[in-house]
Amino acid sequence: MRFTKPGPPQAVLLSYVALIAVGVLLFMLLPTTKAKVSPIDALFTVTSAVTVTGLTVINTETQLTDTGKWLILSLIQIGGLGYMTLTTFLLITFRRKIGVKERLILSESLNYPGVYGLVRFLKRVVLFVFIIEAAGCLLLYIHWVPSMGITGAAFPAFFHSVSAFNNAGFSLFTDNLIPFRGDLYVNLVISALIFLGGIGFFVIHDIYLLFTKRTERLSTHTKLVLSLSIMLVVFGWLGLILTEFAHYNGIWSLNWKERLLSTLFLSVSSRTAGFNTVDIGSLSESSLFLLTILMFIGASPGSTGGGIKTTTFSVILLSVLSYVRGRSEVVVFNRSIPQDLIHRAMVVMALAFTYIAFVNLLIDRIEEKDFLSTLFEVVSAFATVGLSVGGGEGLSFSAQFSSFSKILIVLSMIVGRVGIVSFALALVGREEESRIKHPEARLLL
Amino acid sequence: MRFTKPGPPQAVLLSYVALIAVGVLLFMLLPTTKAKVSPIDALFTVTSAVTVTGLTVINTETQLTDTGKWLILSLIQIGGLGYMTLTTFLLITFRRKIGVKERLILSESLNYPGVYGLVRFLKRVVLFVFIIEAAGCLLLYIHWVPSMGITGAAFPAFFHSVSAFNNAGFSLFTDNLIPFRGDLYVNLVISALIFLGGIGFFVIHDIYLLFTKRTERLSTHTKLVLSLSIMLVVFGWLGLILTEFAHYNGIWSLNWKERLLSTLFLSVSSRTAGFNTVDIGSLSESSLFLLTILMFIGASPGSTGGGIKTTTFSVILLSVLSYVRGRSEVVVFNRSIPQDLIHRAMVVMALAFTYIAFVNLLIDRIEEKDFLSTLFEVVSAFATVGLSVGGGEGLSFSAQFSSFSKILIVLSMIVGRVGIVSFALALVGREEESRIKHPEARLLL
Ligand SMILES: [K+]
Ligand SMILES: [K+]
């Protein structure tokens, strides 16, 4: 027997689908594009914004009107923060009570453990978003005024601050952030925004509690996320330097400062912001594969980023190490990781691999384009990254795809944003536990 | 503290390494090749035979002498059956007692559950091997006499029967089995040998017990292996027809009978025999990716084949389905799969992915050759399959690799044959369980 009422996973999935539907309607009805675009491309663009992916089949700078750019920016902000989060925040602001059911859905949407302190947490999240995005906007504005002018710098500064904090990867520049590849200031500001957006609201909240002395120590979750995020950035940086070394078509054609900056930026951005300061299509195949792995791992839970998440990755890693050493406990920061978390992490990994393999196989079969470029695009969509080897004219590789494959990429962005397990739960639905207990199977592995 | 005595995983790993060392010595000292070959190529060839992989950097037909062919065949038989199995069988034959330690190692080597009935099981295994290989040899001999003559057909029949049952993939013909792509008889005999070799001795033994009425029903393990093996063959067959459909460079350039036969044969052979009746390099990229998945899944445990194994694959699949449905029990054939088996299956998958990703990244970086061809070669080595897009003159893609990459492929074949978890256990070794219990960590995924 299946439950008939939609549970939290269904509600979150439906909220994204509804937001995309409204977005497509607005995109088609308002004067958003300079020339007419196909409904598929409108769906693709809106989904890419709502899921904060950043893959493009329409050039944001040259093909969108100002209305179009504002619509994309609004969808990024709503999608990044989460539709449920925003509506609940509005409800609270207008002093409406929210019930237990809404709290459960909100807790799923925000990835907050439990419902205790949820409303206070929500209010702070919205405040964090406002402060960080305002600061980022101001920092970029000051830097861009000399070259773009007092009025000209305003919208780009705002747009890129919001896009970076939400890990959206959309840029107003045709070549994304390639013009700024040697600009240390822009690199640092955007990287900081991406990093803060990617570690998750829970972690930001935890750091806030420590700084305001409301707690004495950081939670295990925060310690794990921070140490792993820093380790992955360093690992990715060193890895990319090795995979690009002496490969003179790409990053190695630049000077040393730009080589170091662009590999570091790419390491930060690949999990899962999706900005690029170099042409991804010019990188070596080993760099593309390394980036695919980084994209797959992704950002941290309860953030604007995607992927299987840093925590999932580390739980699997620690669990495997424990197993090989013959230990029954999996320990991190003197805490034992419970069995059900390990099981969930393994399920996430298995489902993610299966999903990516299947969609990749389909698109490979249909498009018959380069294998690695296709795999890169599928993982980029699934992990809501937005990096792409490119499809000409500043667009993503998807721009060369047939409608059917574009729809598969759209689906992958939604699955990636909702989360593969939540998506599966939303589709299949839980059954009531059978009371029959079966005898144990004896299997050899 | 670590145990200092080698446990069963170490003993199995060491037995393969020792066998390879002896094989290389014999290969270099005896007149095995017509022209001089490098030590790396000798190591590669011997490892490929001992691990029953079938990747070649030396052409078996044109470059090896008769002595060389016999040496390869002997190494295939010893490596396929397992060195421990053979030596123990010889010990028993000469009426020597075998101790508890030998029994534990043998049980690990044969993938037999426990030590009860182990010696009787071992004797039957050797008998099965003899009967099946003799039958295969006879069937091939009868068929090949008209074209190859009464004496000429003998060695090819013997060689291919042994190579097929041991899932070795070595062939005496320059183009592997391409000359027989339309020959239904050869296709059926070789496929049957591969299938029997790939389901595992435990399953063959179980079927034998049922036929001789010593048991009334098949074990859950046997039911699972048989149903999954058949499902995977059918799934692979249909999949390959779809991925090759209207792709006129490869299989679709043949007539319908050959199209159906060669896709079916490839589906059987890719897990993990490694024979081919078509040029793998001519297949579409989606076919190569589908084959990579089939190779990765591999054969069944306790068999001559590799990969993560059909049972591991099905335990993961069933566990994910149960999780999504919210069931705590994972049920197969009315039996519940115990938690530690699920955990081990997940560890196998995670380790296999990590190993393949890392080695693939290294070889990509060093060789800078086509990504998919390289990935295909790495998975083929890891899963001891032996299929390859080819490197010219009937050799594998590895033939174009540098010495360092060849050594990585050699390592992958050994890791694949020993099993990734056993390999890790052999390297790391179990630690004594700590008595300290840690409080639970609270993490978000
Ligand atoms: K993104
Ligand atoms: K093989």
Q: The complex's ipTM?
A: 0.91
What number is the average pLDDT over the span B425-438?
Answer: 70
Residue B287 is predicted with a pLDDT of: 95
Cβ–Cβ gap B444/A286 under 8 Å: no
> Which residues of chain A make contact with B348, given a CB cutoff of 8 A?
445
Task: Select from B291, B346, B314 the least CA-distant residue to A349.
Answer: B346
Cross-strand partners of A335? A332
Percentage of chain B lying above the pLDDT 90 cut: 56
Residue A250 has pLDDT above 80, yes or no: yes
Residue B426 has pLDDT above 80, yes or no: yes
Cα–Cα dist A242/A156, whole Å: 34
Residue A193 has pLDDT above 70, yes or no: yes
In this structure, is residue A293 part of a structural domain? yes
What number is the average pLDDT over the span A52-64?
Answer: 91
Residue A259 has pLDDT above 90, yes or no: yes
Residue A121 is predicted with a pLDDT of: 83
pLDDT band at A391 (very low <50, low <70, confident <90, very high): confident
**CA-based nearest distance B79→chain A, Å:** 20
Contacts of B301 (CB under 8 A, 6+ apart): A444, A445, B111, B200, B202, B309, B310, B311, B312
**CA-based nearest distance A245→chain B, Å:** 9
Q: Which ligand gives the minimal distance to the CA of A169?
A: 1
The angle that helices A39-50 and A66-81 make with each other, rounded to 10 degrees, is 50
Half-sphere exposure of A320 (CA within 13 A, CB side): 22
Burial class (CB in 10 A: 0-12, 13-18, 19+), B151: exposed
Rg (CA), chain B: 22
Residue A281 is predicted with a pLDDT of: 92
Nearest residue, CB atoms, B431 vs list A111, A285, A327: A327
**CA-based nearest distance A53→chain B, Å:** 20
> Which residues of chain B make contact with A242, given a CB cutoff of 8 A?
365
Q: What is the largest CA-CA distance in chain B?
A: 75
> Which residues of chain A make contact with B356, given a CB cutoff of 8 A?
none
Cβ–Cβ gap A445/B341 under 8 Å: yes
For residue A83, the 8-state DSSP code is H
DSSP three-state, residue B418: helix
Cα–Cα dist A163/A62, whole Å: 18
Nearest residue, CB atoms, A335 vs list B333, B341, B438: B438
- Residue in this structure with the two tokens 């050899």, named with its chain if needed: A444
Q: Which ligand gives the minimal distance to the CA of A79?
A: 1
What number is the average pLDDT over the span A105-120?
Answer: 72
Nearest residue, CB atoms, B347 vs list A290, A320, A428: A320
Q: Which ligand gives the minimal distance to the CA of B387?
A: 2
The tally of domains found in chain B comes to 1
pLDDT band at B157 (very low <50, low <70, confident <90, very high): very high
Nearest residue, CB atoms, B289 vs list A371, A430, A443: A371
Cβ–Cβ gap B285/A339 under 8 Å: no
Q: b/e map of A92-125 (b: 16 or more CB within 10 Å)?
A: eeeeeebeeebbbbbbbbbbbbeeeebeebbebb
Give the residue with greater pLDDT, A441 vs A53: A53
Q: How far is the CA of A48 from the centre of ligand 1 (A)?
A: 8
What number is the average pLDDT over the span B15-24?
Answer: 93
Cβ–Cβ gap A344/B445 under 8 Å: yes
Q: How far is the CA of A272 from the centre of ligand 1 (A)?
A: 5
> Which residues of chain B make contact with A430, given a CB cutoff of 8 A?
325-326
Residue A124 has pLDDT above 90, yes or no: no
Q: Which ligand gives the minimal distance to the CA of B298?
A: 2
- Cβ atoms of A45 and A56 within 8 Å: the answer is yes
In this structure, is residue B169 part of a structural domain? yes
Percentage of chain A lying above the pLDDT 90 cut: 56
Cβ–Cβ gap A425/B243 under 8 Å: no
Burial class (CB in 10 A: 0-12, 13-18, 19+), A36: exposed
Structure tokens at B426: 């052999």
pLDDT, one tens digit per residue, over B178-227 is 989 889 999 999 999 999 999 988 888 889 989 888 888 888 889 999 99
Q: Which ligand gives the minimal distance to the CA of A380?
A: 1
Print the domain residue range for B247: 8-428
Cα–Cα dist B378/B392, whole Å: 18
- Cβ atoms of B350 and B362 within 8 Å: the answer is no
What number is the average pLDDT over the span B407-435?
Answer: 84
pLDDT, one tens digit per residue, over B350-384 is 999 999 999 999 999 999 999 999 999 999 999 99
CA dihedral B78, B81, B82, B88 (to 10 degrees): -90
> Which residues of chain A make contact with B332, given a CB cutoff of 8 A?
441
Residue B4 is predicted with a pLDDT of: 45
Residue B433 is predicted with a pLDDT of: 57
> Which residues of chain B make contact with A442, given a CB cutoff of 8 A?
113, 219-221
Residue A133 is predicted with a pLDDT of: 94
What number is the average pLDDT over the span A125-149?
Answer: 93
Contacts of B156 (CB under 8 A, 6+ apart): B140, B144, B148, B172
pLDDT band at A112 (very low <50, low <70, confident <90, very high): confident
Nearest residue, CB atoms, A445 vs list B301, B334, B368: B301
Cβ–Cβ gap A326/B353 under 8 Å: no
Cα–Cα dist A359/A365, whole Å: 10
In this structure, is residue B118 part of a structural domain? yes
Across all residues in chain B, what is the average pLDDT? 88
Give the environment of ion ligand 2: residues with CB less than 5 A: B 54, 167, 169, 274, 386
Cβ–Cβ gap A329/B357 under 8 Å: no
DSSP three-state, residue B329: coil
Structure tokens at B419: 């099993």
Numbers of helices and strands, H then E, in chain A: 18, 2
Q: Which of A418-422, B214-218, B291-295, B333-337 tops mean pLDDT?
A: B291-295
Q: How far is the CA of B288 from the centre of ligand 2 (A)?
A: 17
> Which residues of chain A make contact with B301, given a CB cutoff of 8 A?
444-445
What is the H or E stretch that residue A19 is in?
A: helix A8-29
Among chain A residues, CA nearest to B292: A357
Residue B1 is predicted with a pLDDT of: 34
Q: How far is the CA of B169 from the centre of ligand 2 (A)?
A: 5
Residue A3 is predicted with a pLDDT of: 39
Cα–Cα dist A76/A90, whole Å: 18
In this structure, is residue B422 part of a structural domain? yes
Give the residue with greater pLDDT, B312 vs A99: B312
> Which residues of chain A make contact with B227, given a CB cutoff of 8 A?
none
pLDDT, one tens digit per residue, over B95-142 is 667 777 777 777 766 667 766 777 788 888 888 999 999 999 999 999
Structure tokens at B374: 């390289």
Cβ–Cβ gap A202/B444 under 8 Å: yes
Among chain B residues, CA nearest to A325: B430
Cβ–Cβ gap B442/A334 under 8 Å: no
Cβ–Cβ gap B443/A224 under 8 Å: yes
Burial class (CB in 10 A: 0-12, 13-18, 19+), A359: buried
Give the residue with greater pLDDT, A314 vs B86: A314
Residue B100 is predicted with a pLDDT of: 74
Nearest residue, CB atoms, B443 vs list A220, A370, A434: A220
Q: b/e map of B281-291 (b: 16 or more CB within 10 Å)?
A: bbbbbbbbbbb
pLDDT band at A139 (very low <50, low <70, confident <90, very high): very high
In this structure, is residue A430 part of a structural domain? no
Give the residue with greater pLDDT, A117 vs A347: A347
> Which residues of chain A make contact with B338, given a CB cutoff of 8 A?
440-441
**CA-based nearest distance B78→chain A, Å:** 22
Residue A337 has pLDDT above 70, yes or no: yes
DSSP three-state, residue A404: helix
> Which residues of chain A make contact with B312, given a CB cutoff of 8 A?
445
> Which residues of chain B make contact with A301, given a CB cutoff of 8 A?
444-445
DSSP three-state, residue A336: strand
- Cβ atoms of B169 and B396 within 8 Å: the answer is no
- Cβ-Cβ contacts under 8 Å between A and B: the total is 234
Q: How far is the CA of B45 from the centre of ligand 2 (A)?
A: 13
Nearest residue, CB atoms, A443 vs list B327, B341, B371: B341
Residue A2 has pLDDT above 90, yes or no: no
Residue A402 has pLDDT above 70, yes or no: yes
Q: How far is the CA of A275 from the centre of ligand 1 (A)?
A: 8
> Which residues of chain A make contact with B289, given a CB cutoff of 8 A?
357, 360-361, 364, 371
Residue B2 is predicted with a pLDDT of: 40
In this structure, is residue B279 part of a structural domain? yes
Percentage of chain B lying above the pLDDT 70 cut: 91
Residue A202 has pLDDT above 70, yes or no: yes
Nearest residue, CB atoms, A320 vs list B350, B429, B444: B350
Residue A84 is predicted with a pLDDT of: 64
Residue A77 has pLDDT above 70, yes or no: yes
Q: Which ligand gives the minimal distance to the CA of B50?
A: 2
Residue A433 has pLDDT above 60, yes or no: no
> Which residues of chain B make contact with A323, given a CB cutoff of 8 A?
343-344, 347, 421
In this structure, is residue B437 part of a structural domain? no
Nearest residue, CB atoms, B431 vs list A326, A431, A443: A326
Q: Which ligand gives the minimal distance to the CA of A383?
A: 1
Burial class (CB in 10 A: 0-12, 13-18, 19+), B444: buried
pLDDT band at A405 (very low <50, low <70, confident <90, very high): very high
Residue A400 is predicted with a pLDDT of: 95
Residue B249 has pLDDT above 70, yes or no: yes
**Lowest pLDDT segment from A417-421, B82-86, B139-143:** B82-86
- Cβ atoms of A336 and A330 within 8 Å: the answer is yes
DSSP-derived secondary structure for B343-381: HHHHHHHHHHHHHHHHHHHHHHHHH---HHHHHHHHHHH
In this structure, is residue A3 part of a structural domain? no
What is the H or E stretch that residue A335 is in?
A: strand A335-336
